[in-house]
A and B are shown apart, each in its own frame.
Chain A
């Protein structure tokens, strides 16, 4: 589409109508803000801000409905994380067993460096166990770099519980049913 541009009249070219228009708008806003005192500013720390659903804040580990660690230390998130913010220490053959029944293992240590994290959400997307989620926290502060590396305890505490799809519960039920053959179809 071609927009037709009208020639400016000599009065418009004097720049005066634009000037008066601008004066009107600014005066109106100035007086409104001055008298009614309803500025759009949100006074952040005093007025808590609202985070919309789907917001990608800090990634935290979550527990399942029984309070067990959901993460199985598959290290997919560590692998996918673009800035390499996640570091997982797997338990190894002799490590502590998973606190969930039927899960093969759980991480011995799980660290996210919040200074490196770019809040991309890939870890949440890739996790097969729904064990890591980007929550709504956005103001992470610390007095030292070391404080900004969140370990497993902290991540679990901050993440809270998240029952989600109870994959392992269903597996366990299935396994139990195996013992009372014949299998339901």
Chain B
């Protein structure tokens, strides 16, 4: 690694950042592909079905046991699906608004990737912090970017220039705007407790004082931590529900709602443009899961075996383990998302709005006041 040391610090920074971006993007896209497969398998199991089990690659398929097993698992389906979406006909209906029609899939895809940039997905590897951009205003940045995501959906609905996508787009905009408020408010208690907006600092705080969702272990049992338990749980529940609504997942997939709006905002899309919406949806889910892990579930830390401190020099395995822990937590959230999708029926639109404005937002506000009160009374 002598050639690395010979570079100037700036060049090193650029090099490592690019490397991290490449790794994270590659990993994220793979995860997205396999999340789709997992979604199909989970839905199949819940509905007493088998799920995808057909694709067989020529050479690997003939390995005695493994090949068959991977085929049964549907392991190659994401690969084939990807190829399929690229070689399908990319049909542009005659009545669409062309520029927006082309722009919308990209706009819905990019914000999800941008959010991942500030998430600390591990402690350190060597001398490198495992976060692409260690921003001081991490969470504000995230909310700023996440709200851009709605433009993709709305633009798609407008660009399609026909009824159902238009309705889908309108619903999406109303829904996302309402739930963004609840989401933003639900994290304020976290900042009150932690006192910092940097996501790395938030994780550090949780390593010392217990996870935000249940701040009991770590800091020991003080009156303060006991009183903060309900606040943490309420914030987490509101954040979770808002995250479902923000990522357009069932039971809040008003923008798509296949049974009412054909498939909502992406009705007119085909081939890879549709694929981009699909990737965007799943990347958004990953971003949401990563946010929840970071804000409420201690990020890459685990409160035992000394896994809650950053590794010292030379402990490569620990750095990797931390990345693994983060991924594990994130995937657990993804699984929950999928489970909920196949568990709950879709809300009616007015019920959704009612829940957002008349339940979530007052509750979040009350929670802020409660947390502030607890902190003031217990002297922080």
Interface residues of A (CB under 8 A from B): 19, 22-23, 25-26, 29-30, 32-34, 38-41, 43
Within residues 35 to 53 of chain B, which ones have a CB less than 8 A from any CB in chain A? 42, 44-50
Q: A40 vs B343: C-alpha distance in the bound complex, in angstroms?
A: 19
Which of chain A's residues has its CB closest to B351's CB?
Answer: A15
Asked if B339 lies at the interface with its beta carbon under 8 angstroms from chain A, I say: yes
Q: How large is the interface on B (under 10, 10 to 19, 20 to 34, 35 or more residues)?
A: 10 to 19
A26 to B344, CA, bound (A): 10
Given contacts A22-B344, A33-B44, A33-B49, 7 further A-B contacts (CB under 8 A): A26-B46, A26-B339, A26-B342, A29-B45, A30-B46, A34-B45, A39-B49
* B326-349 near A? 1/0 per residue, CB < 8 Å: 000000000000010011100000
Known contacts A22-B343, A23-B343: does B50 contact A29 (CB below 8 Å)? no
Given A22-B343, A26-B342, do A39 and B44 touch, yes or no (CB 8 Å)? Answer: yes
Q: Is the CB–CB distance between A40 and B339 below 8 Å?
A: no
Contact of B47 with A43 in the complex, beta carbons under 8 Å: no
- B152 → chain A, closest Cβ, in Å? 30
Name the CB-closest residue of A to B355: A15
Chain A neighbourhood of B45, CB < 8 A: 29-30, 33-34
- Residues 14 to 49 of chain B near chain A (Cβ within 8 Å): 42, 44-49
Given A33-B45, A34-B45: A43 and B50 within 8 A (CB)?
Answer: yes
CB distance B344 to A29 under 8 Å? no
Q: Tell whether, in the assembled complex, residue A29 and residue B48 are in contact, meaning their CB atoms are under 8 Å apart.
A: yes
Could you say which of A23, A33, A43 contacts B48, with CB atoms under 8 Å apart?
A: A33
Query: Whole-angstrom distance from the CB of B48 to the nearest CB of chain A?
Result: 5
**How far does the Cβ of A65 sit from chain B's closest Cβ, in whole Å?**
45
Residue of B nearest to A33 (CB): B45
The proximity string for B residues 306-340 relative to A, scoring 1 for CB distances below 8 Å and 0 otherwise, is 00000000000000000000000000000000010
Chain B nearest CB, measured from A99 CB (Å): 47
Pair B343/A29 contact, Cβ less than 8 Å: no
B93-144: which residues lie under 8 A (CB-CB) from chain A? none
Q: B343 to chain A: which residues have CB within 8 Å?
A: 19, 22-23, 25-26
B198 nearest CB across to chain A (Å): 35
Task: Return 29 A-B CB contacts under 8 Å, by A number.
Answer: A19-B343, A19-B344, A22-B343, A22-B344, A23-B343, A25-B343, A26-B46, A26-B339, A26-B342, A26-B343, A29-B45, A29-B46, A29-B47, A29-B48, A30-B42, A30-B46, A32-B48, A33-B45, A33-B46, A33-B48, A33-B49, A38-B48, A39-B48, A39-B49, A39-B50, A40-B49, A41-B49, A41-B50, A43-B50
